[in-house]
Amino acid sequence: MYGSKTEDPIVKYYDETVGTSGKHEVAWYLTKAHSFGDPILDMACGTGRMSILLAKEGYSIVAFDRSEGMLTRFHEKLSREPIEIKRRVQIFQQDMDNFTFKERFNTIICVDAFFHNLFEQEALNCLKCVSQHLTYKGRFFFNVPNPNQDFLQKCLDSQGKIWTTKNIYPLENSGTTILVEEASAADIQAQLIFTKLRFTCSDSEGNIIERNESSWTTRYMYQDQYLTLFETSGLEVELLVGTYQNEPVSPTSQLIFQLKL
């Protein structure tokens, strides 16, 4: 499991790199929280980037993740917040496909994480847990990739094994930058993507300070597969868009779902 240790570069640099929040993403989830209210359940919450934002808006949050390293970072970040923010957030270590809480929630979110259910049964178990924890007036929101044939072909070809630049991120007020590179492979039969990430930290003069690698595995599914799982788990699609600006699904967009009981 990725992110089990705080030294893992995915954990160490998550908030500064791959876990940065876009303004449209934040606005979309805040709008949904305003519409359906708390309590809010943040599934696979990672380092708490969405939980803390929602708590600052006045919402009560229950958040969980399976990664000890991610939750350690979450606790560290929350400890620096004012007491009124801390009181609104509860943090637990649980699995996404087998979680249990006594209460039901008006808003359940799973941001950039549902695809870590690596098998169809795990995804179905996760959705069944959601249906057991969602109020009848509540909604479940999550995003997943829309499988792109060009990307899958690249993962299968030798070019997928070549390090390519994902992005370069500046570390605030330090002059340090982090170059994130990735290489990917795919198992088409199992619908799995194996991604390697390389993090290179350089100082203001371009000298390499640190370079480490990490990896994660994700499962991609097609829209029709999701619809079948929703029906089996007792959930219904109320809205499907391709972007956080509510644009329609396209071959290069995401799949962003709003589900109800």
Please check whether residues 55 and 132 belong to one and the same domain.
yes
Let me know whether 127 and 154 are in one domain: no
Residue ranges in the chain whose pLDDT is less than 50: none
Record the tokens describing residue 250, joined without a space. 């396209």
What pTM does this model have? 0.95
Within-domain flag for 1: no
Pair (13, 51) in one structural domain: yes
Cα 212 to its chain centre, rounded Å, is 22
Please give the structure tokens belonging to residue 260.
Answer: 């109800």
Predicted pLDDT of residue 3 = 62
111, 204: one domain: no
The answer to whether residue 198 is domain-embedded is: yes
**Residues 27-74 pLDDT 10s:** 999 999 999 999 999 999 999 999 999 999 999 999 999 999 999 999
Same domain, 131 and 236: yes
Amino acid at 130: V
Q: Of the candidates 117, 69, 120, 63, which has an alpha carbon nearest to the alpha carbon of residue 94?
A: 63
245 and 131 share a domain?
Answer: yes
CATH code of the domain containing 54: 3.40.50.150
Q: What is d(CA 177, CA 198) in angstroms, rounded to the nearest whole number? A: 13
Distance in angstroms between the alpha carbons of the first and the last residue of the chain: 31
How many Cα atoms sit within 13 Å of 64 on the Cβ side?
Answer: 15
Q: Give the separation between CA 110 and CA 99, rounded to whole angstroms.
A: 13
Percent helix, percent strand, percent coil in the chain, to nearest 5 = 30, 35, 35
Sign of the CA dihedral running 27, 33, 39, 42: negative
**Do 41 and 122 belong to one domain?**
yes
**Domain annotation covers residue 248:** yes
In a shared domain, residues 68 and 103: yes
> Is residue 119, in this structure, part of any structural domain at all?
yes
Based on the domain organization, do 50 and 116 belong to the same domain?
yes
Euclidean distance between CA atoms 3 and 10, whole angstroms: 6
In this structure, is residue 78 part of a structural domain? yes
State the residue range of the domain holding 206.
149-219
pLDDT of res. 40:
98
**Residue 95 covered by a domain:** yes
* Pair 184, 244 in one domain: no
Contact 41, 101 (CB under 8 A): yes
Q: Retrieve residue 245's tokens.
A: 């600006």
CATH number at residue 190: 2.20.25
Q: If we measure between CA atoms, which residue out of 176, 218, 183, 161 comes closest to residue 13?
A: 176
Token duo for residue 222 = 């097609």
Number of domains in the chain: 2
208 and 255, same structural domain?
Answer: no
Per the domain annotation, does 58 fall within a domain? yes
Asked if 43 and 139 sit in the same domain, the reply is: yes
